[in-house]
Chain A
Amino acid sequence: MSAAREPVLAPGRASLRRRIDHGVKSLAQGRLGRALVIALPYAWLLLFLLLPILIVLKISFSEMALASPPYTPMLQWAEQRTLSLSLHLGNYAFLWEDPLYVAAYLNSLKVAAVSTVLCLLIGYPMAYAIARAPSGWRIVLLMLVILPFWTSFLIRVYAWIGLLQGNGLINHLLLSLGLIDQPLVLLHSNFAVYLGIVYSYLPFMILPLYATLVRMDLTLLEAAADLGSPPWKSFLTVTLPLSLPGVVAGSLLVFIPAVGEFVIPDLLGGPDSLMIGKVLWTEFFSNRDWPVASAVAVAMLLIILVPLLLFQRVEEREATEPTR
């Protein structure tokens, strides 16, 4: 590409060529390389994350059809513009009017909220104890919290079936101790769903709590004690407010996936523990109603959008704060 290889070029053009060469080179090293670094993940996410969600949005406004794929094509609406408007919101009106869907939404929110509080009640003392343990122990204790997360989620839920079922281990134990006369119905109940969610998502609560608690300046507590504050008051006025970012992050990490949870209500829940993730699954796989399933997904997205934005704000504040 150098001028030497093309001796026919006039000197003026050669210098121009050199200048262009230089420009291309610097582009390749700086801006072009940078553009490539950005473009690859950007294009992937646009194509396989944003576009799919837009397609879900689109299909949620179309009608179910006995075709493959089982929904009305978009072009058809353009021709019948007046008709399309009534079709548009049909799926959403259906969701809103059918008490089953409303109940499923409300129940999902309730289950997620209660599970989050339970996780907090169990997770906070654990995170606190780990953060105040001797530093050599902390890594071991923390690893013990993370370890179940690395083993299969499905298998951890499955473990509870063996424990909770009618002839399962817990009933067996209670019967042989004479505490109950006949087996309790533990599996396929709301209780089992709470248990499953708390069990599965507890590590997500403990980790952010630990992160804020271990960073805390302990001299603040000494100062509070010197000034005559009893431990419980120091906890409420110093430790708890300082750990609030961890509480928020942990709660969201439990709440958001719990709202859309499918496996736990499906395997551990009963007929009355209806949750929105399971409804979406049934609409899609059993009823093969893709438009309604899409509308359920859009409605679910709207519900988690509020905690989602909150989460991003917390994340950004964490990112801008200097560490320690």
Chain B
Amino acid sequence: MTGRRPFWLFTALAFGYAFLYLPIVTLIVYSFNDSRLVTVWGGFSTRWYGELLQNEQILAALWLSVRIAAVNATLAVVLGTLAALTLVRFARFRTRMLFAGMVAAPLVMPEVILGLSALLMFVTLEQLVGWPAGRGMTTITIAHITFTTAFVAVVVQSRLSQLDGSLEEAAMDLGARPWKVFLVIILPIISPALIAGWLLGFTLSMDDLVIASFVSGPGATTLPMVIYSSVRMGVSPQVNALATIIVVVVSTGVVIAGWLLHRQGRRGQSRAR
């Protein structure tokens, strides 16, 4: 079975990857189209990129989204790591089921429910205690942290559960305090997971339209919200240009991250040998 590689497996792969990538490739190709129409090739041009850089609405939305995503990713890594530690290390405490359920819930809850419930909670809180006054960047960030924490927790949890417990035990036997064991031993080992979790949190936040639309207020328009409203008007070459930039930036990041992790993994293996 392993010796020969049936032709149909290759076909399945080729078909699958074509399906995944052809839409993205056409998107990129047509971002360089001088014509506004999709069907007409008006020659190579970078005019849409020029117009994109002049579009202050998009640039302001991009800056807002980046700030929200960065704050969100950082806090989600903290909360997600604590949640993962709780689930992996503190096997038994009361209401553990509730906690585990809450950590996992955002993974499987439709975004419309997360968005609606977060908004209704903000409105209720504002009525009761006067905070948060109005909605905007803060409320979007809080709602994003709540759902991205779940993803970070999953990533960190899988790394933590692979961890060799004897290292910690040895450190404890030698008199290290629990927080020192965490800082000196656990943290360096799980750092790839923390980086992956941060990137995941950043991406999820940058990408979210539904939750942000619910909990946003006047003056806080994120990048997906701008893209969404311009896409509803029809195909716009500026969005193609923006998409191309996003795809290039993300692919570069993923390839570099993948290469680094791969190299680190190989180094880890050779050290183990």
Contact = CB atoms under 8 A, between A and B. Distances in A.
Contact of A45 (B102, B206, B258): B102
Interface in A145-172: 145-148, 150-156, 158-163, 165, 167-169, 172
B82 interface: yes
Contacts of B262: 139
A154 B239 CA distance: 11
Nearest to A48: B146
A155 B239 contact: yes
Contacts of B83: 41, 45
A33 B178 contact: yes
Contacts of A45: 83, 99, 102-103, 146, 149
A128 B105 CA distance: 29
Contact of B26 (A59, A163, A267, A319): A163
Given A165-B235, A169-B26, A277 B112 contact: yes
A158 B86 contact: no
Chain A interface residue bracket vs B: 35 or more
A155 B206 contact: no
B166 interface: no
B57 interface: no
Q: Interface range on chain B: under 10, 10 to 19, 20 to 34, or 35 or more? A: 35 or more
A274 interface: no
A139 B228 CA distance: 33
B247 interface: yes
Interface of B: 1-2, 5, 8-10, 12-13, 15-17, 19-21, 23-24, 26-27, 30, 37-39, 79-80, 82-83, 85-86, 90, 93, 99, 101-106, 108-113, 116-118, 120-121, 123-124, 127, 142-143, 145-146, 149, 153, 161-162, 177-179, 203, 206-207, 209-210, 213-214, 224, 227-228, 231-232, 234-235, 239-240, 242-243, 246-247, 250-251, 253-255, 258, 262
Interface of A: 29-30, 33-34, 37-38, 40-42, 44-46, 48-53, 55-56, 59, 69, 122-123, 125-126, 128-130, 132-133, 139, 141, 143-148, 150-156, 158-163, 165, 167-169, 172, 199, 202, 218, 221-222, 225, 231, 234, 252, 256-257, 259-263, 267, 277, 280-281, 284-285, 290, 293-294, 297, 300-301, 304, 307-308, 311-312, 315, 319, 323
Q: Please give me the 10 A-B residue pairs with the lowest Cβ-Cβ distance, nearest first.
A: A260-B110, A125-B12, A52-B117, A52-B121, A159-B23, A41-B83, A129-B9, A126-B16, A45-B102, A155-B243
